[in-house]
Amino acid sequence: MEKQYLIDDLKLGEAWRIFKIMGEFVDGIESLHEIGPAVSIFGSARTAPDDPNYKKAETLAATLVKNKFAVITGGGGGIMEAANKGAAEAGGISVGLNIFLPFEQKPNPYANIQLEFKYFFIRKVMFIKYALAYIIMPGGFGTLDELFEAVTLIQTQRIRPLPVILMGSEYWGGLIKWIRERLLKDHMISKENMGILQVMDDPDKIVAYLKKMIII
């Protein structure tokens, strides 16, 4: 009988979790549905302020804001902090979608719209739903996860085709080479799939490319 009570409690807990999930979706949608055209910028939380990539992210975000884009990041440190800082200091909308993690991830102070999520998958929906383009800067497993989530959704036509830009040819060159020499060569992807990814370095050229590809 006691075992049955424990099972019933577990089922009840799972049912109530649905309402927590719904609540995070509602908070995200209510907070972001009027931010206007936006670009999601991904990258490592471990990038230090004296790293050249930090400055590039800051410059990129400021340039995006000056061209009427809002900026969305994961809300943490490193590249995310730099992008939020650049956007906020340029007078634009700076969104931080933070995730509760036991290590590393703490909200940066530069997001003027800040949300916190418990569930990764809800956070990913917000990154993708409210962005017109994705810019992937140097990062680790989390950045790769966000990159390939977006690419897979575009490849399978679950979302509209949007620009996905890998910023940093030196950093991403090895990955692109491996995709060509392994995935493409072994027919794991099509030639058309390679067109989803663009590799660029200069913030001004990236923004010019987005303005050409996106009508706002």
Please report, in tens digits, the pLDDT of each residue of the chain (216 residues total): 444 444 444 555 677 788 889 999 999 999 999 999 999 999 999 999 999 999 999 999 999 999 999 999 999 999 999 999 999 999 999 999 999 877 656 889 999 999 999 999 999 999 999 999 999 999 999 999 999 999 999 999 999 899 999 999 999 999 999 999 999 999 999 999 999 999 999 999 999 999 998 866
Q: What is the model's pTM? A: 0.90
Q: What is the pLDDT at residue 214?
A: 80
Do the beta carbons of residue 53 and residue 138 sit within 8 Å?
yes
CA 95 → CA 16, 52, 176, distances in Å?
Answer: 29, 22, 29
Residue 216 has what pLDDT?
A: 63
Q: Are 75 and 110 in contact (CB under 8 A)?
A: no
| Domain annotation covers residue 122 | yes
Among residues 210, 114, 202, 107, the alpha carbon closest in space to that of 164 is found at 210
**Structural domain total, the chain:** 1
Domain membership of residue 6 (yes or no) is yes
Q: Is residue 87 part of a domain?
A: yes
CA distance 113 to 138: 24
Residue 70 maps to which CATH number? 3.40.50.450
Which amino acid type is present at position 76? G
Q: Which domain holds residue 11?
A: 2-211
Is residue 216 one of the residues assigned to a domain? no
The pair of structure tokens assigned to 50 is: 């004296």
Question: Is position 177 within any domain?
Answer: yes
- For residue 82, being part of any structural domain is answered with yes
Number of C-beta neighbours around residue 65 at 10 A: 22
Whether residue 54 lies inside any domain: the answer is yes
Residues β-bridged to residue 183: none
Domain presence at residue 86: yes
- Res 106: pLDDT: 81
